[in-house]
């Protein structure tokens, strides 16, 4: 007893430095993560004069809505915005329609087979998008799917299906099979059980999975680039502004692309778990 007591009272050499540096540690983390977000919005509202000079000011005092107005007026933002919205929404609906029934079946297979299929699906994600995209884009060009909503939707399904199927298998696994058996004893058909019992119980998981697919498609750049020559999506529009626009134009379009994501993530934080997340937000 006395030996431990002596050890415990001995001063830990890191105690004081940790205590002193801790607030700076937290503030530093906040600055590192949030400063770039602040910058995007700040620049998009800054009057042109605020950004000139060798060392632009970190804080802008007089704001202007000019760049946001111009982006929508002359920037031709409506068409990319519409394309991104339609593509992301259609990709999400199709991904759920294709992946949810399949994930249900996979979740009811024997564990060995189930894990083989899930790992097989995830292995497809190890390939560079280019390895898939080069062939896909060459073929799509022949079918006239370049500069077309459908082409990008099909390509975004490639990226999202394995991932969403993986999440949903996890969701369906947690639904007890007794629930289905009870419904079937009550006379429900297998399809009826699936639609009226299993899917409603899994609604939370399906909603989160949909969100990830929507965000993936909204952010996706590479496939869109390979399948587009002039009908841009919003991320491609950001790149166009990086390439040949002004700072404010770039910041404004980037802000418009980012805003829905910030809102969605803020309101859905409690659903975010590392396991469900790591594959969704990709490079």
| 71 contributes a contact to another protein by CB under 8 A | no
Residue from 110, 142, 244, 273 in contact with another protein (CB under 8 A): 273
Is residue 31 helix, strand or coil? helix
Q: Evaluate whether 80 touches 232 at the Cβ level (below 8 Å).
A: yes
Q: Evaluate whether 248 touches 43 at the Cβ level (below 8 Å).
A: yes
Helices 129-142 and 149-173: angle between axes, nearest 10 degrees: 140
Q: How many residues belong to the site for another protein (CB under 8 A)?
A: 98
| 274 contributes a contact to another protein by CB under 8 A | yes
CA dihedral over 170, 120, 274, 85, signed as positive or negative: negative
By beta-carbon proximity to another protein, the closer residue of 97 and 185 is 97
Q: How far is CA 97 from CA 100, 190, 210, in A?
A: 6, 17, 11
| 269 contributes a contact to another protein by CB under 8 A | yes
Quote the CA–CA distance of 64 and 57 in Å, as a whole number.
16
Q: How far is CA 256 from CA 56, 184, 263, in A?
A: 23, 49, 12
| 14 contributes a contact to another protein by CB under 8 A | yes
Residue from 64, 66, 85, 125 in contact with another protein (CB under 8 A): 125
| 195 contributes a contact to another protein by CB under 8 A | no
Question: What string marks each residue from 144 to 173 as x (binds another protein by CB under 8 A) or -?
Answer: ----------x--xx--xx--x--------
226-245 positions binding another protein, by CB under 8 A: 226, 235, 238-239, 241-242
Using CB under 8 A, which of the segments 69-77, 177-185, 197-205, 263-271 binds another protein? 263-271
Tell the smallest beta-carbon distance from residue 23 to another protein (Å).
9
Q: How far is CA 4 from CA 68, 118, 120, in A?
A: 65, 50, 53
84-123 positions binding another protein, by CB under 8 A: 97-99, 101-106, 108, 121
């Amino acid at each position: 007893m006395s030996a431990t007591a002596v050890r415990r009272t001995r001063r830990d050499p890191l105690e004081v430095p940790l205590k002193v540096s801790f607030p700076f540690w937290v503030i530093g983390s906040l600055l590192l993560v949030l400063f770039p977000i602040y910058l995007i919005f700040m620049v998009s509202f800054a009057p042109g004069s605020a950004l000139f000079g060798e060392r632009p000011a970190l804080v802008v005092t007089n704001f202007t809505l000019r760049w946001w107005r111009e982006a929508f007026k002359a920037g031709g933002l409506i068409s990319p915005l519409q394309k991104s919205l339609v593509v992301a929404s259609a990709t999400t609906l199709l991904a759920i329609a294709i992946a949810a029934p399949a994930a249900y079946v996979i979740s009811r297979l024997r564990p060995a087979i189930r894990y083989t299929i899930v790992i097989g699906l995830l292995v497809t994600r190890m390939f560079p998008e280019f390895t898939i995209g080069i062939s896909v884009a060459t073929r799509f060009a022949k079918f006239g799917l370049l500069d077309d909503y459908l082409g990008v939707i099909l390509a975004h399904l490639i990226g999202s299906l394995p991932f969403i199927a993986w999440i949903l298998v996890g969701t369906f696994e947690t639904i007890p099979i007794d629930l289905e058996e009870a419904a079937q004893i009550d006379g429900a058909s297998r399809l009826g059980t699936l639609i009226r019992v299993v899917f409603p119980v899994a609604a939370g998981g399906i909603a989160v999975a949909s969100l990830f697919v929507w965000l993936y498609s909204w952010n996706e750049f590479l496939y869109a680039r390979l399948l587009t020559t002039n009908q841009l999506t919003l991320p491609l529009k950001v790149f166009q502004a990086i390439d040949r626009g002004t700072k404010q134009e770039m910041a404004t379009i980037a802000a418009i692309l980012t805003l829905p994501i910030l809102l969605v993530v803020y309101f859905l934080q409690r659903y975010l778990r590392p396991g469900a997340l790591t594959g969704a937000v990709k490079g």
